[in-house]
Amino acid sequence: MDDQLIDSWQKKLGGQFALPYMTSLQEFLASERKAGKQIYPPENLVFNALNSTPFERVSVVILGQDPYHGSGQAHGLSFSVQPGVAIPPSLVNIYKELYSDVGAVPPMHGCLTSWAEQGVLLLNAVLTVEQGNAGAHQGKGWEQFTDEVIRALNDQRENIVFILWGNYAQKKGAFIDQSKHCVLTSAHPSPLSAHRGFLGSKPFSQCNAYLKSKGLPEVNWSLPLQL
């Protein structure tokens, strides 16, 4: 799996692939595929978040939990779906807040690739899932790997904005050094919790205000209206 990572991340994370937890994870995934189970995202997109946003270009991290488990949805970027797929409920709420916060018109699609290309690392805590079985790959090793992603950014970079929506993301990011980085927290954008503190939290404008204060490029949060 390590040969699927671009060089900048390979240099930071390559050693993880020789560790027992990652060997076990790779064996688990191989056995699931051999058993005929449909795993999302496609194998070539498992590391899409890292490969779309090189280590040295990361300015923002938006932390999700699991990939979407419906057919054709997941493509390795947290909260994002492939073009042509219906926009999931959490992303609908993200678009509502985006418009309310910075006036960005919600697009007709759910693909967030343009954010990733600007330095927004759209990282899920768990990078694979079984079709129709949410959370099926939790506790198999991905959480340790993505902790190392966050740790590398926390330790070796400065002035990154970490956007942590919901309790799960906030617990995972609890070790982030807030004297070096900006941590923005709120409720999760899912329909179950969006009205309990996500809507109205203004994460996008707060993020850009911080980046601007550090002399760093702001994110253009407006997405292409059509793809």
* DSSP secondary structure code for residue 194 in this structure: G
- Closest by CA to 134, choosing from 90, 172, 165, is 90
Q: How far apart are the first and last CA of the chain?
A: 30
- Closest by CA to 147, choosing from 227, 222, 61, 68, is 61
Amino acid at 139: G
At 53, list the tokens: 């946003």
CA distance 96 to 30: 39
SS3 label, residue 162: strand
Residue 66 a catalytic site member = yes
Active-site choice (66, 101, 147, 177): 66
CA distance 171 to 155: 18
CA distance 156 to 62: 18
CA distance 168 to 180: 22
Instruction: Please report which helix (H) or strand (E) contains residue 122, including its range.
Output: strand 120-124
Instruction: Please report which helix (H) or strand (E) contains residue 156, including its range.
Output: helix 142-156
Residue positions annotated with a catalytic role: 66
